[in-house]
Amino acid sequence: MTSTVLAERSNLEIVLLPIDKLKPHEKGSPLYLELLKQEILRDGVLKYPIIADEKTHVILDGMHRWLALKNLGYKLIPVILVDALRNLKIRVGTRRIHRYITDSK
């Protein structure tokens, strides 16, 4: 299911915001960031929008996606804005299991 379908079913709107308006709340993994940047360049698309609080613009989901687009020079980013303090139904999780394989030789 695409993020557009999810947004439509939830009555949420995807908006384009200046990338510098968003605020990260955690550090990213350099390895995952590089893999994500390569995926975005290869596919030519960001598969999921960022989810951020509508008042503070703190990123709730998609920090690596935000950082990847920022590093690639993008000025605008697709975002779903939510009221994180008042909406008790908001759940943020991960769709990926991060596994890194290194050569131990």
Residue type for position 31? L
**Catalytic (active site) residue 26:** yes
Catalytic residue among 8, 13, 26, 34: 26
Nearest CA to 52 among 74, 79, 76? Answer: 79
In contact, 60 and 52? CB cutoff 8 Å: yes
Catalytic residue annotation: 26
